[in-house]
Amino acid sequence: MPTTRRSVSHTAASGCKPAAATRGLRDGLFIVFEGLDGAGKTTQIDLLATALRQAGYTVICLKEPTDGPWGQKIRQATRQGRRQADPEDELTWFLEDRRQDVEQNIRPALAQGCIVILDRYYFSTMAYQGALGYDPDEIRQRNEAFAPPPHLLFLLEIEPSQGLQRVQQARQLDGFERLDYLQQVDAIFAAMDFPYLRRISASDDIETVQAHICQEVRETLTTWPRTDLSEKDVG
């Protein structure tokens, strides 16, 4: 059964007003959030999940790396600044962690008609491992051999220096969080081009960012196959 990620209590942002009836999707909707740390992904995911649940949708929130054995290896390497991890081994850990997440959580939830919201996916692997010298497109191909692309990808964009500043205000920096490295990561994110990609400025206030996200989700749900006959939706 899919694991859920606890959402903090927020009031739904303007533009994401709850609807009354329960919504049933025939096919699950897969939404991914990406961006540098400090861009506000966690806040925006919590707000969106709250609004969708209030609108009657079943929402599963997940995060990568997961809490599984491969994800724990990744976190340990991150805390150590990657000094003791072989880059190829680390890439393998990401692939195996994601493979397990897809098989145990993502695909089953989508098959049940849930809205799956994922904090980081293989686009982060493309950007962060790509900044270490790997070919981002090769990473994408290796992942898409088993991992389904999302229906919506929100890339929350923020200047690396601003992101670092926000992170430093909240916690101690990890070993890999250096400005020069994150600038390379940001450049790879900036070069991505997919039909499902939506770029959102994370420098705006929380309510403005959420309004843009809700608008995109609302437009997608308007034409999404469903089991109920209601036309009203989020917003």
Instruction: Give the tens place of pLDDT for each residue, 63-115.
Output: 999 999 999 999 888 776 655 678 888 999 999 999 999 999 999 999 999 99
Is pLDDT of 10 > 80? no
**Ramachandran bin of 30, using left for φ above 0, alpha for ψ from -120 to 50, beta for the remaining angles:** beta
Burial pattern 144-160, b for ≥16 Cβ within 10 A else e, equals eeebebbbbbbbbbbbb
State pLDDT tens for residues 158-190.
Answer: 999 887 888 777 666 665 678 889 999 999 999
Confidence at residue 165, expressed as pLDDT on a 0 to 100 scale:
81
Q: Which fold has domain 29-222?
A: Rossmann fold (3.40.50)
Q: pLDDT category, 36, cuts 50, 70, 90? A: very high
Domain residue spans of the chain: 29-222
Confidence at residue 128, expressed as pLDDT on a 0 to 100 scale:
92
3-class secondary structure, 161: helix
